[in-house]
Amino acid sequence: MMKLFYKTLLLFVLILSTTLLYQKNTYAYHTLVHIDPIPHTKMLISQEKYVDAHTYLSYFMDFEYMQDNKEAHDLIKKIATVRSSLKYTSQKIAQGISTGTSDELLGQVSAIGSDFFFIGDIRDLALEGTHFFKDEEVDAVIISLSTIGLVASASTLFTLGSSAIAKSAVSVLKLAHKSKRIPLWLNTYLLKHSKTIRKTKSLASISPLFITIKKLEQRVGLQEMLKLLSQSTNFKELQSITKLSKRYGANTHTLLKLSHRKVLSHASYLKKSNIKTIKIASSYGSNGFVHLIKGGEKNFITTTKRLKAFAKIGYKGELWKIFLWLMKHLSDTMLMLIMGVSSLLLLPWRRRQAKR
């Protein structure tokens, strides 16, 4: 009886290790694990970043594996309660007017509204002039933007509003700068073009940037546009992100972040895939996109369907979770070693020795 149990156990270990090795190198199921958005959402709430927390968690609530998650629904309600309170709303509007920065749309609109007219540009130039005479640090970017803003205001006045896009873009860029969302390349870009504008009194050299910003804002909204602007590394990439936003809309930044920028670097390939498939891939994080890009859409869909079926194996999928854990923590070398030892122990050594 013990001998039978011993052989059965060895056979089970051999079959299990063989299956694990095959699955690791064929489908790599262990790398496809759904993102749990709750820990990151809680971290954002603790930092009082309620807008980011709502955007992030809401994205995942569209997926089937999160729809019945009570804790996630409770967090959504908690965030909504805070954001809808009169105290919070008033604070964000006041913050936008007084500091020119905010993470809430109402505060951002207030910040842009207080800066849209040329009075805001004169105010900022006067303030930076005071810093200069007091030997304090001067914000060169604000000076550049205010200079461009004054030219845009004058152009709007004399051209009956045809330069309104430029004035709006300057206000948005000021908000981005004060919110620390302007990347280094854009600082350099603005400083360079402000010198040209001061000499020529023309906005022609910088109009491509303004048109791109306006187009991006129209497609994804002000809040998401500021996030995407901060993620760009040069003007050409900002144009590529704007092009990407035509397909992904308000989800562009979230997809860019979850894919570790793969939606941008592999844009030409991913445009062949259905948007629904791309969103499913995003629920697995960067690894989801690796599988989609390497295996193709058809293979990815097949793999995720199998995962869904396998997730039901054992009590509430616990056996499948153990299987995934083993795939993740046992290296190929270890599995081959286990297979080798199991095979050797299963061989009928005594019979062979008796024949000799």
Backbone angles phi, psi at 236, to 5 degrees: -60, -40
Structure tokens at 223: 């809040």
High-pLDDT (> 70) share of the chain, %? 70
Residue 277 has pLDDT above 90, yes or no: yes
Lowest mean pLDDT among 26-30, 57-61, 121-125: 26-30
Q: How far is CA 162 from the centre of its chain?
A: 35
pLDDT at 132: 63
What gap in Å lies between CA 170 and CA 145, rounded to an integer? 6
Residues with Cβ < 8 Å from 187, sequence gap 6 or more?
141
Of the candidates 163, 127, 160, the residue with the CA atom closest to the CA atom of residue 146: 127
What gap in Å lies between CA 195 and CA 177, rounded to an integer? 19
Structure tokens at 273: 């895939």
Q: Average pLDDT of 284-289?
A: 90
pTM: 0.72
Write out pLDDT tens, residues 179-224: 888 999 999 998 888 888 888 878 888 889 999 999 999 999 988 9
Write out pLDDT tens, residues 87-135: 888 888 777 766 666 777 777 776 666 665 555 666 666 666 776 677 7
pLDDT at 161: 44
HEC-encoded secondary structure of 213-270: HHHHHHHHCHHHHHHHHHHCCCHHHHHHHHHHHHHHHHHHHHHHHHCCCHHHHCHHHH
Residue 278 has pLDDT above 60, yes or no: yes
Q: Average pLDDT of 43-56?
A: 93
Residues with Cβ < 8 Å from 328, sequence gap 6 or more?
30, 31
